[in-house]
């Protein structure tokens, strides 16, 4: 593995960082990560604005095939993710650009590609994910939302939950049950694309513990979805679902976000004095910072190795699980450390006393998502056990 970049890569990476640095200056007060994108009108408008800036430079389609606007490589996409992560800039639809588009490119008909990819690339459509249900999360294949074929439509009835951003997005990808009598439960599922304005869809707020509105319950009552919106084939949606989950990539954005956080915290420790000494002279604080820096470096190396493997199409199925666990759990430790370091100043997000505009307090509230959404870390460890270590599969 050779991490040395070519001159062109260095130049392009710098360009990503330059543009993201400028966009960071436009960030609404208190904007922090994915949740802020969905949590306020201002955050959503900022996300759309950044998205249009990226789209006009062709950065939403970097590693797509040329016929759909691609002009770069997987590694270019990695550098772009690093720049966005470091500056905590939104503008790339994680459900549309990051996960659904590559799935469509691999698994959908030409008709679906032509109808949906241009909108995703230009940020004209924004996407959510209607998978989990009140009784189907880790065991997603047991989901119950029914889709019955009637002429040229599927008629959907059921309930989805935890649907991130679905009060704002225009479209969603859904997994539904089309054959309730299939021998195995994952064999009766279909993956389809759903216009969120279709009559019969009710989106209800699922209030988060910080009282923000990022997540939803979505109720589907006789929702008619055109049959030609199926990705792949009827009753073969499980393979499409698994493919999409695998496109969660290397988490380099999250890792670069932590890189920035460590830089902030080191600066804070050097500049803040306690009992007439800089906080950075406190041994416990120094040790904790050093430990986080070591773990971050290890996470970054793993993420680069995975990105390199993806680029060469040599990625093992458990690689993404490994980096998800390592980066998610490290993020939790960074968030805990920062809020402890700030003491009472880490708990006054809405006041003028808040450090870093309340970023770390918000981040503390939200880091749980990284270890639950898109498959909990317990499930990721199961995947590593089965696929990586060949341990017996537990029933
Ligand atoms: C913030 C957030 C955002 C989300 N966004 C979306 C979204 O946009 N769209 C969407 O469809 N879903 C979304 N989800 C749902 C998410 O995918 C599920 O929460 C997740 O898959 C876990 O399912 P569950 O909540 O039903 O927990 P359960 O499956 O009930 O699990 C409960 C606990 O048991 C453990 N467990 C379960 N099975 C096993 C096992 N076999 N071995 C070991 N441990 C096990 C789990 O790890 C967990 O700790 C989101 C969730 C959160 C928290």
Indicate whether 282 and 355 sit together in one domain.
yes
Cα–Cα distance for residue pair 190/192, rounded to 1 Å: 6
From the CA of 369, how far away is ligand 1's center (Å)? 10
Domain boundary among 47, 68, 92: 92
* Confidence grade of residue 1 (pLDDT, cut at 50, 70, 90): low
Tokens 């230009």, residue located:
122
Per mean pLDDT, which range of 74-83, 191-200, 216-225, 260-269 is the poorest?
74-83
CATH number at residue 12: 1.10.540
From the CA of 229, how far away is ligand 1's center (Å)? 27
Residue 377 Cα: closest atom of ligand 1: 47
From the CA of 370, how far away is ligand 1's center (Å)? 11
Indicate whether 262 and 356 sit together in one domain.
yes
Q: What confidence tens digit (pLDDT) does each residue in 96-144 have? A: 999 999 999 999 999 999 999 999 999 999 999 999 999 999 999 999 9
Which residue among 98, 128, 135, 138 is best mutated to probe the pocket of ligand 1, counting the most ligand atoms within 8 A of its Cβ? 138
Q: What confidence tens digit (pLDDT) does each residue in 303-353 have? A: 888 878 877 878 777 888 898 899 999 999 999 999 999 999 988 887 888
- Domain of 54, in residue numbers: 7-92
Indicate whether 136 and 216 sit together in one domain.
yes
- List C-alpha distances in Å: 270 to 264, 266, 347: 10, 6, 21
Do the domain assignments include residue 369? yes
Indicate whether 252 and 233 sit together in one domain.
no
Cα–Cα distance for residue pair 177/195, rounded to 1 Å: 18
Which residue among 237, 244, 373 is best mutated to probe the pocket of ligand 1, counting the most ligand atoms within 8 A of its Cβ? 373
User: How many structural domains are present in the chain?
Assistant: 3
Do the domain assignments include residue 104? no
Which residue among 131, 132, 244, 371 is best mutated to probe the pocket of ligand 1, counting the most ligand atoms within 8 A of its Cβ? 132
Indicate whether 252 and 229 sit together in one domain.
no
Residue 315: per-residue pLDDT: 76
From the CA of 162, how far away is ligand 1's center (Å)? 9
Residue 313: per-residue pLDDT: 77
pLDDT at 250 over 70: no
Residue 166 Cα: closest atom of ligand 1: 8
Output the ligand 1 site: residues, CB below 6 A: 129, 131-132, 137-138, 162-164, 215, 369, 372-376, 378-379, 382
Average pLDDT of the chain is 93
Hey, whose CA ends up nearest to atom 24 of ligand 1? 137
Phi, psi of 65 (to 5 degrees): -60, 150
Which position has the higher pLDDT, 186 or 369? 186
Do the domain assignments include residue 242? no
| CA count, 13 A, side-chain hemisphere, 319 | 21
CATH number at residue 358: 1.20.140.10
Residue 164 Cα: closest atom of ligand 1: 8
Residues 6+ apart with CB under 8 A from 110: none
From the CA of 88, how far away is ligand 1's center (Å)? 25
296 with 263: CB under 8 angstroms?
Answer: no
From the CA of 376, how far away is ligand 1's center (Å)? 6
Do the domain assignments include residue 274? yes
Residue 35: per-residue pLDDT: 86
Do the domain assignments include residue 243? no
């Amino acid at each position: 593995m050779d991490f040395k970049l070519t001159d062109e890569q260095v130049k392009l990476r710098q360009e990503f960082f330059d543009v993201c640095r400028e966009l960071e200056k436009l960030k609404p007060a208190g904007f922090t990560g994915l949740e802020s994108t969905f949590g306020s009108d201002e955050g959503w408008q900022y996300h759309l604005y950044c998205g249009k800036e990226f789209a006009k430079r062709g950065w939403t389609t970097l590693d797509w095939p040329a016929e759909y606007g691609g002009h770069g490589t997987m590694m270019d996409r990695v550098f772009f993710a690093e720049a966005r992560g470091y500056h905590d800039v939104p503008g790339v639809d994680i459900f549309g650009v990051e996960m659904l588009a590559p799935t469509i490119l691999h698994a959908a008909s030409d008709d679906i590609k032509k109808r949906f990819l241009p909108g995703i690339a230009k940020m004209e459509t924004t996407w959510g994910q209607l998978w989990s249900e009140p009784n189907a999360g880790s065991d997603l294949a047991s989901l119950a939302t029914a889709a019955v074929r009637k002429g040229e439509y599927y008629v959907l009835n059921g309930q989805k939950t935890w649907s991130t951003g679905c009060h704002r997005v225009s479209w969603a990808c859904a997994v539904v049950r089309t054959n309730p009598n299939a021998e195995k439960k994952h064999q009766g599922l279909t993956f389809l694309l759903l216009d969120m304005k279709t009559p019969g869809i009710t989106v209800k707020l699922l209030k988060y513990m910080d009282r923000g509105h990022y997540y939803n319950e979505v109720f589907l009552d006789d929702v008619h979805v055109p049959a030609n919106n199926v990705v792949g084939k009827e009753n073969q949606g499980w393979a499409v679902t698994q493919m999409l989950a695998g496109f969660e990539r290397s988490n380099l954005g999250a890792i670069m976000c932590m890189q920035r956080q460590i830089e902030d915290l080191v600066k804070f420790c050097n500049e803040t004095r306690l009992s007439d000494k800089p906080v950075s002279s406190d041994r416990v604080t120094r040790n904790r910072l050093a430990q986080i820096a070591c773990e971050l470096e290890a996470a970054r190396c793993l993420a680069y190795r995975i990105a390199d493997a993806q680029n060469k199409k040599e990625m093992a199925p458990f690689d993404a699980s490994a980096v998800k666990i390592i980066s998610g759990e490290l993020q939790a430790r960074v968030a805990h450390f920062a809020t402890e370091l700030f003491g009472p100043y880490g708990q006054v997000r809405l006041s003028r006393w808040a450090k870093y505009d309340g970023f770390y307090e918000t981040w503390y509230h939200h880091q749980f998502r990284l270890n639950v959404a898109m498959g909990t870390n317990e499930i990721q460890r199961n995947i590593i056990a089965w696929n990586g270590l060949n341990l017996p599969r537990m029933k």
